Amino acid sequence: MQHVDVRYVAGLARIALTAEEQREFQGQLDDILDYVGKLTELDVTGIDPTAHAVPMANILRDDVARPSMDRDHMVQNAPASVDDAYVRVPAVIGEEH
């Protein structure tokens, strides 16, 4: 497995490491990379590549139009409205001046 310098990774992450942390994390990173390197020794002939451990599929219901709440009834129950046609909601994004 290719050697990766923990100082390089820390630099990418913009993390400052002490000399002691560099030694400790370099050892941990080397152990992880050695373990991952062992995966290259596996015989995966005949095994299809996969992105998930189990098959995944979206199970969606049919898109069927159904009656919805009457607009007048909805606006009547809203805390505030405009022209009795639109629901007024609190501002979420500030206005630019």
| Contact between 33 and 4 (Cβ < 8 Å) | yes
Would you give the distance in Å from CA 6 to the centre of its chain? 25
**Domain residue extents for the chain:** 6-41
Q: Look at residue 83 in the predicted model and tell me its pLDDT.
A: 85
Tens digit of pLDDT for each residue in 3-61? 899 999 999 999 999 999 999 999 999 999 999 999 889 999 999 888 888 887 888 88
Model pTM? 0.47
Non-local CB neighbours of 6 within 8 Å, separated by 6+ positions? 17, 22, 25, 26, 29
With bands split at pLDDT 50, 70 and 90, how would you rate the model's confidence at 97? low
Alpha helices (runs of H) in the chain, residue ranges in sequence order: 6-12, 19-38, 71-77
Query: Taking 70 as the threshold, does the pLDDT of residue 68 lie above it?
Result: yes
